[in-house]
Structure 1
Amino acid sequence: MSVYFNKRRKWWEYYFRHNKRPYTKAGFKTKKEALAEEAERKKEVKQPQRPRTEQIDMDFLTLCNRRLDYLAAYRSDRHYQDTVYLAKRWVKQWSDKTVHEISTESVQNYLIEVCKAISAQTANKELRGLRAIFNFGVKKPNRWFNHNPTDDLDFFPVEQKKKYVPPIKDVIAVLLAASGEFQDYLWTIALTLGRMSEVNRLEKSDLDFENGVVTLYTRKSKNGNLTPREIPMTAKLKEVLLN
């Protein structure tokens, strides 16, 4: 069906193909509006004089939602939520624009304001996110358009600072200051050297007390698959996990 209701976004969308080229738009409040817009768009694309090389005139809001749907299906929840947060900022900036109406200058001016108001690190993070959003539409298998306004933009210079690594005595002091389940949680992180997301994902089936092994899972590969790694279970870690 070319017109459908997006339950996640709570609005109507249309999608159809003509001469192997996709056409899509989202954000309609009613099915009637989506059908009317789709019918008008079909009339336009079926005109015989329409240039064959013309790309989709996709609005920026639709592009963002297509990307978010992809991330929800293929990437970690954290990656998805981070992009949702950034996309809300971008939509405020360009919600009334099509992809082809967003210029390199417009993106650069936006990022400069982010750099001034927040930091160069944040501006660089947003540049990476915007570049990924546009590349999602440019590259295979989508190829909805060939315009990426971030291509010629450079990252902002950032002052690299040495990361603070607490000495072991400070780590132990924090562990001893905690109590109950929170202390067990911190011990598990310290003794496995695991990420918080890995420890939060632990299940009983990941604990092999007989062989003294803990299996942690993380999403580090390009396709977003959970990748396991085994950690030796020390006597203290076993005590904490059995608690």
Structure 2
Amino acid sequence: MAPKTANSNRGRSPAVHRALKRAILDQALFPGAKLPEDLLGERLGVSRTLVREALVRLSEEGLVDLTPNKGATVARPTLEEGLNLFLTRMALERLVVESLSGKLTKAQIETLTAHIAAEEAAKPEHAVSIRLAGEFHTILAQMTENASLIRYVNETVARSSLILALYGRPHSSDCAVSEHRQILTHLIAAETEPAATLMTHHLDAISTRALLPRHCDRDMKDVLSDYAAAEGLLG
């Protein structure tokens, strides 16, 4: 019986990890939320051991913070970490684009085209839209078959979803999806530099338009004057 139990646990371990990761990326579990092993095990119908293994793996991916004597919480990255993260993504994903330009197979093109269609269909659901947008980038990375690149892109994209959940502002996803389609078009045509340039612009746009305010040198008086004017308090 023991070997069967062990085999069963090994088989369910990846599923527990996927379930918790999906919940975090879909913002069902928000940054900073506590993750009690007993409660998670009860809700998922698995042992605390499997939950603990999943939490350790998620911590290695930057999605969970493990604190001695305090347990696990969904990671809560800082604004500065978010800015640095997107700079790192720009460098990594330029490598992805350079690796794939002109080399996509028919099956890969069909996979990416279908995924972009799913992104368009998910526009009303903000959390799902963020996850699908991130998956476009991880799918591209997987197609490079470069294990190191796949790992680092997966980790930075997952962490980016937490940043978006914390600091993102409501916005239309039209631009992001159209840019994904344009990137695919460039890759199919072996237009490496246009694809790489668009990818950099795409990620930079997320970190400004939809995500993170740049550091501002304006003083409080200047900043508040905009709001005062909008409320008719000036003049």
- TM-score, scaled to structure 2: 0.23
More strand by share: 1
Q: Of the two, which has the highest radius of gyration? A: 1
Q: Which has the higher contact order (CA 8 A, sep 6+)?
A: 2
TM-score after normalising by structure 1:
0.23
Higher relative helix content: 2
